[in-house]
Structure formats: C-alpha cells, structure tokens
C-alpha cells in the first residue's frame, strides 16, 4: 500500500499510547493525550542521478550516495530521490533532516558476493581464529548514528542480497554434516542508532543478511506500511527490531521472514503495534534482552498465519528486567507453533551457555489477552516463570483455543480466565513448514 507524504514537513501524529504508568485495562487507557512526532524535513529535493548514480544493477554507486548525502547535509537537509533502477552499493550513512525516498521501481541493493565488498572468500580460511582475525564485517547497508529528523519512504525496495551470508551463519554451522563449519558475523540491513523522530514508510525490505530494520535508542518512531520479506529458513532474518525505544507506532506492516517478525529489544515504553499481517517467522515478541524494562505496549488487530510463535515475551536470567502492562487484543493466530508464549527461561540457540549479569532477573507482570482466536495451533502455548520470579497478573478474556496441546503454566500464578473456550485434541494442529530452528 502506498501513502502520500508531504515532502515539506512531517506533522505531529497522535498515537494511542498510555500517558502514564499503571495497568492497561482497556484500549481507551492508551488514548489520552500522547503523540508521536514525525520528522521535520526541509523542502529541498535532490536526485541521486545528479551525483553520478547508475541504476543498471551492476555499477557500484557507493560514492554517488555518499556525495548526495554530503550535499544534503551541507545544505541543511532535504529529500534525496532515488529514481527507478537498481542501484548496487556498499554501505553508506544517513544525515539528519534527510528523507531518503525510493520511487516506484527503485531498488537499493547490496552486493551479491563477498568480492564486490572487497572481502575474502570465507572458504579460504582454515580456522575460526584465522577468519576472525582477517575478515572484516562491513557496516549495515544503510546506517546512521546520533541523528534527528530522518525518514525512509516510498514504494521502492532495499535488498540485502543475503544468500551468500546465510551459508556462513551459526545455523548453517549447527546443521553442517561435519563439525567445524566456520561462522562469520553478518551485517544488518538498516540500522539507526540514536535518533529523535524517525519515520519508515511504504518501503519493501528484503533478503537481509541478518536483521532488516534496527532502530536503536530512538524517541518518536513511526513504521507504517512496510513490507519485509526473507525465506522462512533464512537464519536470524528479523524484520523489525526496535529497542530501546520511547514512543513508537508500528502499523500496516506485511511481514514474512525467518526469525522474529516484530520484536522489542532491551527496553521500550509507549508502543502501539496494530493492523499488521505476519506469515512465517517468530511472531510479535518482546526480548530476549529486557534489562531496560518494557512497559505500556498495546498490540491489536493483527493476523498471523503459520508463524512459529504468535504472541511471545521471552527473557532469561542474566539479561532480564521488568515487563509489565502489556495488552494484546483482536488478534487471530492460525496454524502457529506456539500461540501464546511467556517464557523467563528462554535459551538462545546461538548462545546456549549465556550467563550474563546475575543481578538482571526478568519478570512479567500484568499481561492481558483479549479477543484472541487461536486456530490449528500445535500448542496453545506456555507461561513459564522462574522459581524466584514467578509470572503474575496474566488475564485471558474471550480467548478461543483450537490446538493439539493446551496451555502449560509453570512458576506462574494461574491466569485469570474469562470466557475462554477450548478444543484440545490430536489432529487439531495445521501442517507446519518442513524446516524450523
């Protein structure tokens, strides 16, 4: 879906998020006086072609992007238009007061080989130590740090060309026929570290070597109408990973990837996720790191079909903090593996021996599931706390469960159930994709 955004300025957008701490009882509790501010971009337009870019799918355009963004920074901000064509590029960085706009038919594409990035073939190394000493993991394809007023918009595509990276992932090493398969670090696709007023709208992000969109330490975040695509077995290809984040709205997104589809990491508050459609992947999650605390989050009117997990809060001893005042409502979960999953004993397959800081104990308190339809699930899910940190304050209201296995509760107060219906029997689970982590 395409929306029309002003190229002159971004106005304040009202968002229904809780204005003060306290239990979220209804959606109305999140609709009182809170706003998410959008970027303010000067009314200057720059065209990438004017800086030597060639969209033929072969020419390297890294310097064209850098020259264009430097000119915009020197002018005090503006809109950089990427016209129709495929623009292969190495990593480049954004500046403040910038809108990067991809026209219909425009593709920003990462190189499809290590050689094009000036990197050696990982197969040339005889040991992990040698590889780590000599292989330099590049920056994200598009990045920025300590910025304000940034927008990435338009109906175009940002493509990470990730297949040659996936072959050297942790998952590939675990699944190798013989031990000793080497592992290389992989860059994310779009990473913004530290930003006030960030907007990402209408783009398609696809085939990242690792995570697709990582807004970190962002205040006032809007992600609207974004499509994210990667094969369901592409390793660690998270779609949208905000956190820490304060004041965020994620809406109208269409996601099908190989890992977390939307996940709040480390910390977050005042978050609304609504009207999203999700296929493969690990659903809508919080964690596993929650050390900074996550609170006041509403997820509503979302649909998931075939995800490994549906609605998930995951954390672990050593990286945990308080998760509270979370609400899910009007959500359908069809053919999922685990529909509802609250887990404080999570194990990261990539870090099975993780210990972390023993003082960082996770907790979950005050989670409401209302008007949730679970159909064809393998497992209704589980609510698993820790002996010294039991999960409390979970409510299921108007929840319909059609699954092969019922909800499992351990080290947690029994959830309050109001109008919960169950159909639990063998054969209820829908067929699952052939490969899973």
Cα–Cα separations (whole angstroms), residue 135 to 167, 183, 213, 310: 15, 11, 24, 37
Tens-level pLDDT at each residue, the chain (437 residues):
334 333 333 333 333 333 333 455 666 665 555 689 999 999 999 999 999 999 999 999 999 999 999 999 999 999 999 999 999 999 999 999 999 999 999 999 999 999 999 999 999 999 999 999 999 999 999 999 999 999 999 999 999 999 999 999 999 998 888 888 999 999 999 999 999 999 999 999 999 999 999 999 999 999 999 999 999 999 999 999 999 999 999 999 999 999 999 999 999 999 999 999 999 999 999 999 999 999 999 999 999 999 999 999 999 999 999 999 999 999 999 999 999 999 999 987 767 778 888 889 999 999 999 999 999 999 999 999 999 999 999 999 999 999 999 999 999 999 999 999 999 999 999 987 654 44
Q: How far apart, in whole angstroms, are the C-alpha atoms of residue 236 and residue 244?
A: 19
324, β-bridge pairs:
295, 365
Longest dimension (CA), the chain: 65
Q: How far apart are the first and last CA of the chain?
A: 31
Strand, coil or helix: 165: helix
Instruction: Work out the number of other CB atoms within 10 angstroms of the CB of residue 436.
Output: 12
Q: What are phi and psi of 207, to 5 degrees?
A: 55, 45
Whether 63 contacts 87, CB under 8 Å: no
Considering only CA atoms, give the Rg of the chain: 22
Closest CA to 327 of 27, 15, 22, 21: 27
Cα–Cα separations (whole angstroms), residue 214 to 145, 208, 246, 424: 12, 12, 14, 38
Closest CA to 286 of 308, 256, 316: 316
The predicted model scores a pTM of 0.92
Domains parsed from the chain with CATH numbers: 24-204 (2.160.20.10), 260-431+433-437 (2.160.20.10)
Q: What are phi and psi of 134, to 5 degrees?
A: -115, -15
Q: Which structure tokens are listed for 63? A: 């310097």
């Amino acid at each position: 879906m395409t929306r029309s955004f002003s190229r002159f300025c971004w106005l304040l957008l009202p968002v229904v998020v809780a204005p003060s701490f306290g239990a979220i009882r209804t959606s109305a509790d999140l609709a009182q006086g809170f706003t998410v501010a959008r970027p303010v971009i000067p009314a200057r337009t720059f065209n990438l072609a004017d800086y030597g870019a060639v969209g033929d799918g072969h020419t390297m355009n890294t310097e064209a992007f850098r020259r264009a963004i430097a000119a915009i920074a020197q002018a005090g901000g503006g809109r950089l238009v990427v016209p129709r064509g495929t623009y292969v590029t190495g990593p480049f960085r954004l500046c403040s007061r910038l809108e990067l706009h991809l026209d219909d038919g425009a593709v920003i594409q990462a190189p499809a080989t290590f050689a094009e990035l000036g990197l050696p073939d990982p197969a040339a190394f005889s040991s992990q130590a040698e590889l780590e000493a000599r292989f330099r993991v590049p920056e994200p394809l598009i990045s920025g740090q300590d910025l304000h007023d940034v927008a990435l918009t338009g109906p175009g595509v940002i493509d990470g060309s990730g297949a040659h990276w996936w072959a050297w992932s942790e998952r590939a090493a675990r699944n190798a026929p013989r031990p000793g398969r080497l592992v290389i670090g992989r860059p994310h696709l779009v990473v913004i570290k530290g930003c006030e007023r960030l907007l990402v709208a209408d783009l398609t992000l696809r085939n990242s070597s690792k995570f697709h969109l990582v807004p970190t330490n962002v205040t006032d975040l809007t992600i609207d109408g974004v499509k994210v695509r990667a094969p369901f077995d592409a390793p660690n290809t998270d779609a949208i990973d905000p956190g820490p984040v304060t004041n965020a709205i994620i809406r109208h997104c269409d996601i099908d990837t190989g890992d977390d589809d939307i996940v709040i990491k480390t910390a977050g508050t005042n978050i609304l996720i609504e009207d999203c459609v999700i296929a493969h992947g690990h659903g809508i999650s919080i964690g596993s790191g929650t050390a900074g605390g996550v609170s006041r989050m509403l997820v509503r009117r979302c649909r998931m079909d075939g995800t490994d997990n549906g609605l998930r809060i995951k954390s672990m001893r050593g990286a945990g903090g308080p998760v509270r005042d979370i609400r899910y409502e009007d959500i359908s979960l069809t053919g999922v593996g685990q529909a509802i999953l609250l887990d404080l004993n999570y194990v990261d397959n990539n870090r099975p021996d993780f210990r972390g800081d023993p003082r960082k104990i996770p907790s979950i308190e005050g989670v409401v599931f209302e008007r949730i339809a679970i159909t064809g699930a393998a497992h209704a899910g589980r609510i698993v706390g820790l002996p010294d940190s039991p999960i409390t304050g979970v409510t299921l209201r108007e929840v319909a469960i059609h699954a092969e296995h019922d909800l499992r509760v351990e080290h947690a107060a029994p959830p309050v159930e109001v109008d919960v219906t169950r159909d639990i029997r063998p054969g209820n689970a829908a067929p699952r994709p052939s490969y899973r982590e």
